[in-house]
Amino acid sequence: MCEVAPILQARIVMLVDLDYFYAQCEERRNPSIKGKPVVVCVYSGRTEDSGAVSTANYVARKYGVKSGIPISLAKQKLKDVDAVFLPVDKEFYREVSDKIMEILRSHGDSFEQVGIDEAYLDVTQRTKGNHQEAEKLAETIKDDVLTRQQLTCSIGVGPNKLVAKIAADIQKPDGLTLVRPEEVESFLSPLPVRRLVGVGKKTEKKLETLGVRTVGQLARLDVQRLIEVFGRKLGTYFHNASLGIDDEPVQERSEPESVSRISTLKEDTRDLAVILDEAYRLCDEVHSRLFQQGLVYRSVSIYVVAGDLSVHSRSKTFENPTSDLETFRKTVKELYEKFLSESDVEARRVGVKVSNLTKKEELQKQITNFFGSSRH
Ligand code: DCP
Ligand code: MG
Ligand code: MG
Protein backbone atom coordinates (compact mmCIF):
# COMPACT_ATOMS: atom_id res chain seq x y z
CA MET A 1 0.00 0.00 0.00
CA CYS A 2 1.27 3.43 -0.72
CA GLU A 3 1.15 6.31 1.72
CA VAL A 4 -1.17 9.11 0.76
CA ALA A 5 0.24 12.49 1.64
CA PRO A 6 -2.32 14.85 3.15
CA ILE A 7 -3.44 17.28 0.49
CA LEU A 8 -3.66 20.85 1.66
CA GLN A 9 -7.03 22.16 0.61
CA ALA A 10 -6.59 24.96 -1.94
CA ARG A 11 -8.11 28.12 -0.54
CA ILE A 12 -9.98 31.02 -2.05
CA VAL A 13 -9.31 34.29 -0.24
CA MET A 14 -10.59 37.78 -0.96
CA LEU A 15 -9.38 41.20 0.05
CA VAL A 16 -12.05 43.87 -0.06
CA ASP A 17 -10.78 47.46 0.06
CA LEU A 18 -13.06 50.48 -0.09
CA ASP A 19 -12.20 53.05 -2.73
CA TYR A 20 -10.83 56.47 -1.65
CA PHE A 21 -12.57 55.72 1.61
CA TYR A 22 -12.63 58.95 3.65
CA ALA A 23 -13.31 61.04 0.54
CA GLN A 24 -16.03 58.65 -0.63
CA CYS A 25 -17.74 58.95 2.78
CA GLU A 26 -17.70 62.72 2.33
CA GLU A 27 -19.20 62.40 -1.17
CA ARG A 28 -21.95 60.18 0.21
CA ARG A 29 -22.76 62.68 2.93
CA ASN A 30 -22.79 65.59 0.48
CA PRO A 31 -23.41 64.38 -3.09
CA SER A 32 -23.09 67.92 -4.48
CA ILE A 33 -19.27 67.65 -4.23
CA LYS A 34 -19.18 64.55 -6.46
CA GLY A 35 -17.27 65.16 -9.66
CA LYS A 36 -15.04 67.79 -8.05
CA PRO A 37 -11.61 67.01 -6.62
CA VAL A 38 -12.21 66.14 -2.95
CA VAL A 39 -9.28 66.25 -0.55
CA VAL A 40 -9.62 65.08 3.05
CA CYS A 41 -7.01 66.69 5.30
CA VAL A 42 -5.50 66.35 8.74
CA TYR A 43 -4.94 70.00 9.68
CA SER A 44 -2.17 70.33 12.25
CA GLY A 45 -3.46 73.78 13.22
CA ARG A 46 -0.12 75.58 13.18
CA THR A 47 -0.94 77.66 10.12
CA GLU A 48 -4.06 77.59 7.99
CA ASP A 49 -2.65 75.09 5.50
CA SER A 50 -0.23 73.09 7.61
CA GLY A 51 -0.91 69.40 7.79
CA ALA A 52 -1.14 66.44 5.44
CA VAL A 53 -3.59 64.95 2.99
CA SER A 54 -5.32 61.91 4.43
CA THR A 55 -6.79 60.80 1.12
CA ALA A 56 -8.28 62.24 -2.05
CA ASN A 57 -10.89 61.10 -4.53
CA TYR A 58 -9.85 59.88 -7.97
CA VAL A 59 -10.65 63.25 -9.60
CA ALA A 60 -8.08 64.90 -7.30
CA ARG A 61 -5.59 62.06 -7.89
CA LYS A 62 -5.50 63.01 -11.58
CA TYR A 63 -3.86 66.25 -10.45
CA GLY A 64 -1.24 64.35 -8.46
CA VAL A 65 -2.91 64.75 -5.08
CA LYS A 66 -2.52 61.68 -2.85
CA SER A 67 -2.30 60.47 0.76
CA GLY A 68 0.58 61.89 2.75
CA ILE A 69 1.46 65.00 0.73
CA PRO A 70 1.36 68.41 2.46
CA ILE A 71 -1.95 70.26 2.22
CA SER A 72 -0.12 73.29 0.81
CA LEU A 73 1.22 71.17 -2.05
CA ALA A 74 -2.27 69.77 -2.76
CA LYS A 75 -3.63 73.34 -2.88
CA GLN A 76 -0.90 74.29 -5.30
CA LYS A 77 -1.71 71.35 -7.59
CA LEU A 78 -5.39 72.28 -7.54
CA LYS A 79 -5.03 76.03 -7.59
CA ASP A 80 -7.05 76.72 -10.74
CA VAL A 81 -9.67 74.09 -10.01
CA ASP A 82 -12.94 74.14 -8.07
CA ALA A 83 -11.70 71.67 -5.42
CA VAL A 84 -13.14 70.77 -2.03
CA PHE A 85 -10.87 70.54 1.04
CA LEU A 86 -12.40 68.96 4.14
CA PRO A 87 -11.11 68.09 7.61
CA VAL A 88 -11.11 64.40 8.63
CA ASP A 89 -14.18 63.21 10.54
CA LYS A 90 -12.89 59.88 11.80
CA GLU A 91 -15.96 59.14 13.88
CA PHE A 92 -18.20 59.35 10.85
CA TYR A 93 -15.89 57.13 8.77
CA ARG A 94 -15.80 54.64 11.65
CA GLU A 95 -19.61 54.51 11.65
CA VAL A 96 -19.69 53.80 7.93
CA SER A 97 -16.85 51.30 8.23
CA ASP A 98 -18.55 49.35 11.04
CA LYS A 99 -21.70 48.94 8.96
CA ILE A 100 -19.76 47.79 5.90
CA MET A 101 -17.61 45.38 7.92
CA GLU A 102 -20.80 43.80 9.23
CA ILE A 103 -21.92 43.22 5.61
CA LEU A 104 -18.53 41.79 4.65
CA ARG A 105 -18.36 39.52 7.68
CA SER A 106 -21.65 37.91 6.63
CA HIS A 107 -20.16 36.90 3.25
CA GLY A 108 -17.11 34.96 4.47
CA ASP A 109 -16.51 31.55 6.07
CA SER A 110 -14.01 33.53 8.12
CA PHE A 111 -13.31 37.23 8.28
CA GLU A 112 -10.40 39.45 9.25
CA GLN A 113 -10.56 43.22 9.28
CA VAL A 114 -7.15 44.77 8.75
CA GLY A 115 -7.78 48.48 8.73
CA ILE A 116 -10.63 50.95 8.71
CA ASP A 117 -11.42 50.21 5.06
CA GLU A 118 -10.29 46.67 4.29
CA ALA A 119 -10.89 43.07 5.24
CA TYR A 120 -9.95 39.55 4.19
CA LEU A 121 -12.60 36.88 3.66
CA ASP A 122 -11.93 33.18 3.29
CA VAL A 123 -14.68 31.95 0.97
CA THR A 124 -13.37 28.45 0.20
CA GLN A 125 -16.28 26.54 1.70
CA ARG A 126 -19.13 28.66 0.48
CA THR A 127 -17.77 28.65 -3.07
CA LYS A 128 -16.79 24.96 -2.84
CA GLY A 129 -13.35 26.04 -4.02
CA ASN A 130 -14.79 27.07 -7.38
CA HIS A 131 -13.33 30.24 -8.91
CA GLN A 132 -16.35 31.07 -11.00
CA GLU A 133 -18.49 30.94 -7.86
CA ALA A 134 -15.95 33.15 -6.12
CA GLU A 135 -16.15 35.72 -8.89
CA LYS A 136 -19.94 35.72 -8.64
CA LEU A 137 -19.71 36.13 -4.89
CA ALA A 138 -17.32 39.06 -5.28
CA GLU A 139 -19.86 40.74 -7.60
CA THR A 140 -22.59 40.09 -5.05
CA ILE A 141 -20.49 41.64 -2.28
CA LYS A 142 -19.81 44.72 -4.38
CA ASP A 143 -23.54 45.09 -5.12
CA ASP A 144 -24.45 44.53 -1.49
CA VAL A 145 -22.06 47.21 -0.21
CA LEU A 146 -23.20 49.63 -2.91
CA THR A 147 -26.92 49.07 -2.37
CA ARG A 148 -26.82 49.12 1.41
CA GLN A 149 -24.09 51.66 2.06
CA GLN A 150 -23.73 53.50 -1.29
CA LEU A 151 -19.97 52.94 -1.47
CA THR A 152 -17.80 51.28 -4.10
CA CYS A 153 -14.96 48.93 -3.29
CA SER A 154 -12.31 46.90 -5.09
CA ILE A 155 -11.86 43.20 -4.57
CA GLY A 156 -8.90 40.93 -5.15
CA VAL A 157 -9.44 37.17 -5.21
CA GLY A 158 -6.58 34.70 -4.93
CA PRO A 159 -5.32 31.51 -3.31
CA ASN A 160 -4.08 33.38 -0.20
CA LYS A 161 -3.96 36.75 1.54
CA LEU A 162 -0.75 37.87 -0.14
CA VAL A 163 -2.07 37.41 -3.68
CA ALA A 164 -5.58 38.73 -2.83
CA LYS A 165 -4.13 41.94 -1.40
CA ILE A 166 -2.01 42.66 -4.47
CA ALA A 167 -4.90 41.74 -6.78
CA ALA A 168 -7.22 44.20 -5.03
CA ASP A 169 -4.81 47.03 -5.81
CA ILE A 170 -4.47 46.22 -9.50
CA GLN A 171 -7.78 47.65 -10.66
CA LYS A 172 -9.12 50.58 -8.70
CA PRO A 173 -11.68 52.07 -8.17
CA ASP A 174 -14.61 49.66 -8.42
CA GLY A 175 -12.38 46.80 -9.58
CA LEU A 176 -12.48 43.05 -9.38
CA THR A 177 -9.35 41.00 -10.06
CA LEU A 178 -9.29 37.23 -9.85
CA VAL A 179 -6.01 35.32 -9.83
CA ARG A 180 -6.25 31.54 -10.17
CA PRO A 181 -3.47 29.40 -8.65
CA GLU A 182 -2.02 28.62 -12.08
CA GLU A 183 -1.89 32.34 -12.88
CA VAL A 184 -0.05 33.44 -9.75
CA GLU A 185 3.42 33.33 -11.27
CA SER A 186 2.57 35.28 -14.42
CA PHE A 187 0.49 37.72 -12.38
CA LEU A 188 3.22 38.51 -9.86
CA SER A 189 6.40 38.34 -11.90
CA PRO A 190 6.17 41.66 -13.84
CA LEU A 191 5.15 43.67 -10.75
CA PRO A 192 7.66 45.92 -8.98
CA VAL A 193 8.87 44.45 -5.66
CA ARG A 194 7.26 47.38 -3.84
CA ARG A 195 3.87 45.72 -4.31
CA LEU A 196 4.82 43.00 -1.83
CA VAL A 197 3.74 43.62 1.76
CA GLY A 198 6.87 44.33 3.80
CA VAL A 199 8.92 45.81 0.96
CA GLY A 200 9.39 49.50 1.74
CA LYS A 201 11.69 52.11 0.27
CA LYS A 202 14.78 50.80 2.07
CA THR A 203 14.29 47.16 1.03
CA GLU A 204 13.52 48.29 -2.51
CA LYS A 205 16.90 50.09 -2.63
CA LYS A 206 18.75 47.08 -1.21
CA LEU A 207 17.11 44.76 -3.71
CA GLU A 208 18.00 47.11 -6.52
CA THR A 209 21.70 46.74 -5.63
CA LEU A 210 21.16 43.00 -6.12
CA GLY A 211 19.75 43.72 -9.57
CA VAL A 212 16.19 43.00 -8.48
CA ARG A 213 13.33 45.28 -9.47
CA THR A 214 10.46 42.94 -10.22
CA VAL A 215 8.86 40.14 -8.25
CA GLY A 216 9.93 37.72 -11.00
CA GLN A 217 13.58 38.73 -10.59
CA LEU A 218 13.21 38.30 -6.83
CA ALA A 219 11.82 34.80 -7.39
CA ARG A 220 14.88 33.86 -9.42
CA LEU A 221 17.33 35.11 -6.80
CA ASP A 222 18.95 32.38 -4.73
CA VAL A 223 17.22 32.14 -1.38
CA GLN A 224 20.60 31.77 0.39
CA ARG A 225 21.67 35.12 -1.05
CA LEU A 226 18.48 36.71 0.28
CA ILE A 227 19.09 35.20 3.72
CA GLU A 228 22.67 36.57 3.73
CA VAL A 229 21.38 40.06 3.04
CA PHE A 230 18.15 40.17 5.07
CA GLY A 231 18.56 37.43 7.68
CA ARG A 232 16.80 34.08 7.79
CA LYS A 233 13.30 35.21 8.68
CA LEU A 234 12.95 38.13 6.29
CA GLY A 235 14.98 36.48 3.53
CA THR A 236 12.74 33.40 3.58
CA TYR A 237 9.65 35.59 3.69
CA PHE A 238 10.73 37.59 0.61
CA HIS A 239 11.54 34.38 -1.24
CA ASN A 240 8.14 32.83 -0.49
CA ALA A 241 6.31 36.08 -1.17
CA SER A 242 7.91 36.37 -4.60
CA LEU A 243 6.50 32.93 -5.42
CA GLY A 244 3.07 33.89 -4.10
CA ILE A 245 3.37 31.42 -1.21
CA ASP A 246 1.48 32.43 1.93
CA ASP A 247 -0.19 30.14 4.47
CA GLU A 248 -1.47 32.80 6.86
CA PRO A 249 -5.04 31.93 7.80
CA VAL A 250 -7.87 34.44 7.60
CA GLN A 251 -8.88 34.87 11.20
CA GLU A 252 -10.67 37.41 13.28
CA ARG A 253 -8.17 39.48 15.25
CA SER A 254 -8.11 38.83 18.99
CA GLU A 255 -11.28 39.39 20.92
CA PRO A 256 -12.35 42.99 21.19
CA GLU A 257 -12.35 44.70 24.58
CA SER A 258 -15.61 46.32 23.72
CA VAL A 259 -18.11 46.51 20.91
CA SER A 260 -19.73 49.84 20.19
CA ARG A 261 -21.79 51.62 17.59
CA ILE A 262 -22.41 55.32 17.18
CA SER A 263 -24.75 57.10 14.85
CA THR A 264 -25.60 60.66 13.83
CA LEU A 265 -29.20 61.79 14.39
CA LYS A 266 -31.14 63.63 11.70
CA GLU A 267 -31.21 66.68 13.97
CA ASP A 268 -30.02 67.57 17.48
CA THR A 269 -32.59 66.49 20.05
CA ARG A 270 -33.46 65.74 23.69
CA ASP A 271 -36.47 63.64 22.72
CA LEU A 272 -36.07 60.26 24.45
CA ALA A 273 -38.24 58.44 21.90
CA VAL A 274 -36.13 59.72 18.98
CA ILE A 275 -32.88 58.88 20.77
CA LEU A 276 -34.07 55.40 21.71
CA ASP A 277 -35.33 54.69 18.23
CA GLU A 278 -31.76 55.07 16.98
CA ALA A 279 -30.11 53.59 20.08
CA TYR A 280 -32.17 50.39 19.88
CA ARG A 281 -31.11 49.93 16.27
CA LEU A 282 -27.50 50.23 17.42
CA CYS A 283 -28.19 47.74 20.22
CA ASP A 284 -29.39 45.24 17.61
CA GLU A 285 -26.21 45.70 15.59
CA VAL A 286 -23.96 45.31 18.63
CA HIS A 287 -25.93 42.29 19.77
CA SER A 288 -25.67 40.58 16.42
CA ARG A 289 -21.90 41.14 16.48
CA LEU A 290 -21.68 39.64 19.99
CA PHE A 291 -23.74 36.69 18.87
CA GLN A 292 -21.51 36.03 15.85
CA GLN A 293 -18.40 36.06 18.02
CA GLY A 294 -20.00 34.16 20.90
CA LEU A 295 -19.36 36.96 23.40
CA VAL A 296 -21.14 37.91 26.60
CA TYR A 297 -20.92 41.31 28.29
CA ARG A 298 -20.99 42.67 31.80
CA SER A 299 -21.03 46.46 31.19
CA VAL A 300 -23.26 48.69 29.11
CA SER A 301 -22.52 52.32 28.25
CA ILE A 302 -24.32 55.02 26.35
CA TYR A 303 -22.76 58.00 24.62
CA VAL A 304 -24.02 61.38 23.61
CA VAL A 305 -22.02 63.72 21.41
CA ALA A 306 -23.37 67.26 21.67
CA GLY A 307 -23.44 69.97 19.00
CA ASP A 308 -20.19 71.41 20.42
CA LEU A 309 -18.63 67.92 20.04
CA SER A 310 -18.38 67.40 23.81
CA VAL A 311 -18.82 63.73 24.68
CA HIS A 312 -21.00 62.54 27.56
CA SER A 313 -21.48 59.01 28.79
CA ARG A 314 -23.19 56.88 31.42
CA SER A 315 -22.42 53.24 32.26
CA LYS A 316 -23.72 50.33 34.25
CA THR A 317 -21.93 47.11 35.21
CA PHE A 318 -23.73 43.91 36.16
CA GLU A 319 -22.55 41.33 38.61
CA ASN A 320 -22.93 38.51 36.09
CA PRO A 321 -22.25 38.45 32.36
CA THR A 322 -25.18 38.20 29.98
CA SER A 323 -25.83 38.07 26.26
CA ASP A 324 -29.46 39.09 26.54
CA LEU A 325 -30.69 41.71 24.06
CA GLU A 326 -33.65 42.78 26.23
CA THR A 327 -31.34 43.48 29.19
CA PHE A 328 -29.12 45.48 26.88
CA ARG A 329 -32.01 47.58 25.51
CA LYS A 330 -33.53 48.07 28.96
CA THR A 331 -30.22 49.27 30.37
CA VAL A 332 -29.66 51.61 27.44
CA LYS A 333 -33.11 53.11 28.05
CA GLU A 334 -32.42 53.58 31.78
CA LEU A 335 -29.06 55.20 31.06
CA TYR A 336 -30.49 57.64 28.51
CA GLU A 337 -33.32 58.55 30.92
CA LYS A 338 -30.74 59.15 33.62
CA PHE A 339 -28.58 61.20 31.30
CA LEU A 340 -31.46 63.42 30.12
CA SER A 341 -32.60 64.03 33.70
CA GLU A 342 -29.11 65.03 34.79
CA SER A 343 -28.01 67.12 31.81
CA ASP A 344 -29.49 69.71 29.48
CA VAL A 345 -27.33 68.71 26.53
CA GLU A 346 -28.91 68.15 23.09
CA ALA A 347 -27.74 64.98 21.38
CA ARG A 348 -26.19 65.17 17.92
CA ARG A 349 -24.78 61.65 17.92
CA VAL A 350 -25.79 58.75 20.08
CA GLY A 351 -23.87 55.59 20.80
CA VAL A 352 -24.04 52.34 22.74
CA LYS A 353 -21.23 50.13 23.95
CA VAL A 354 -20.80 46.82 25.74
CA SER A 355 -17.56 45.97 27.51
CA ASN A 356 -16.09 43.53 30.02
CA LEU A 357 -16.48 40.88 27.35
CA THR A 358 -15.92 37.16 27.73
CA LYS A 359 -16.30 34.24 25.34
CA LYS A 360 -19.45 32.30 26.11
CA GLU A 361 -17.51 29.00 26.01
CA GLU A 362 -14.96 30.38 28.48
CA LEU A 363 -17.79 31.23 30.80
CA GLN A 364 -19.31 27.77 30.48
CA LYS A 365 -15.91 26.23 31.21
CA GLN A 366 -15.60 28.37 34.32
CA ILE A 367 -19.07 27.38 35.49
CA THR A 368 -18.40 23.69 34.86
CA ASN A 369 -15.07 23.91 36.68
CA PHE A 370 -16.69 25.69 39.56
CA PHE A 371 -19.52 23.24 40.03
CA GLY A 372 -17.26 20.33 39.14
CA SER A 373 -14.74 21.23 41.83
CA SER A 374 -17.33 22.23 44.44
CA ARG A 375 -18.86 18.75 44.31
CA HIS A 376 -15.62 17.14 45.41
N1 DCP B 1 -5.27 57.04 5.23
C2 DCP B 1 -4.63 58.10 5.87
N3 DCP B 1 -3.30 58.39 5.60
C4 DCP B 1 -2.60 57.61 4.73
C5 DCP B 1 -3.23 56.52 4.09
C6 DCP B 1 -4.56 56.27 4.36
O7 DCP B 1 -5.26 58.80 6.67
N8 DCP B 1 -1.32 57.90 4.47
C9 DCP B 1 -6.70 56.80 5.50
C10 DCP B 1 -7.54 57.54 4.48
C11 DCP B 1 -8.01 56.47 3.55
C12 DCP B 1 -8.07 55.24 4.43
O13 DCP B 1 -7.02 55.42 5.38
O14 DCP B 1 -9.27 56.79 2.96
C15 DCP B 1 -7.90 53.94 3.68
O16 DCP B 1 -6.63 53.86 3.09
P17 DCP B 1 -6.39 53.23 1.67
O18 DCP B 1 -4.92 53.00 1.54
O19 DCP B 1 -7.29 52.08 1.44
O20 DCP B 1 -6.71 54.42 0.65
P21 DCP B 1 -8.10 54.92 0.08
O22 DCP B 1 -9.23 54.06 0.50
O23 DCP B 1 -8.26 56.38 0.41
O24 DCP B 1 -7.88 54.84 -1.47
P25 DCP B 1 -7.88 53.53 -2.41
O26 DCP B 1 -9.00 53.75 -3.38
O27 DCP B 1 -6.56 53.54 -3.07
O28 DCP B 1 -8.08 52.33 -1.52
MG1 MG C 1 -9.12 51.98 0.30
MG1 MG D 1 -7.15 50.24 2.56
What are the distances in angstroms from CA 350 to CA 279, 307, 315, 331, 340? 7, 12, 14, 15, 12
Distance CA 92, CA 76 (A): 28
Q: Give the number of whichever ligand sits closest to the CA of residue 52.
A: 1
Query: Residue 116: is its pLDDT beyond 80?
Result: yes
**Is beta strand 358-359 parallel, antiparallel or unpaired with respect to 84-87?**
unpaired
18 lines ligand 1 (CB under 6 A): yes
Distance CA 175, CA 62 (A): 18
∠ CA 143-145-149, rounded to 5°: 125
In the set 95, 118, 278, 285, the catalytic residue is 118
* Domains, the chain, ordered by start: 13-19+92-184 (3.30.70.270), 22-88 (3.40.1170.60), 192-242 (1.10.150.20), 258-363 (3.30.1490.100)
pLDDT tens-digit readout, 277-286: 999 999 999 9
52 lines ligand 1 (CB under 6 A): no
Percent of the residues in the chain that have a pLDDT greater than 90, as a whole number: 84
pLDDT number for residue 376: 41
Q: How far is the CA of 56 from the centre of ligand 1 (A)?
A: 8
pLDDT tens-digit readout, 230-278: 999 999 999 999 999 999 999 987 777 899 999 999 999 999 999 999 9
pLDDT tens-digit readout, 205-237: 999 999 999 999 999 999 999 999 999 999 999
54 lines ligand 1 (CB under 6 A): yes
Q: Give the number of whichever ligand sits closest to the CA of residue 67.
A: 1
pTM: 0.76
pLDDT number for residue 46: 81
Locate the ligand 1 atom nearest the alpha carbon of residue 42 and give its number: 7
Query: Residue 374: is its pLDDT beyond 50?
Result: no
Of the candidates 278, 274, 283, the residue with the CA atom closest to the CA atom of residue 353: 283
The string over 341-374, giving b where at least 16 C-beta atoms fall within 10 Å of a residue's C-beta and e elsewhere, is eeeebebbbbbbbbbebbeeeebeeeeeeeeeee
> Cβ distance 237 to 322 under 8 Å?
no
Q: How far is the CA of 143 from the centre of ligand 3 (A)?
A: 19
93 lines ligand 1 (CB under 6 A): no
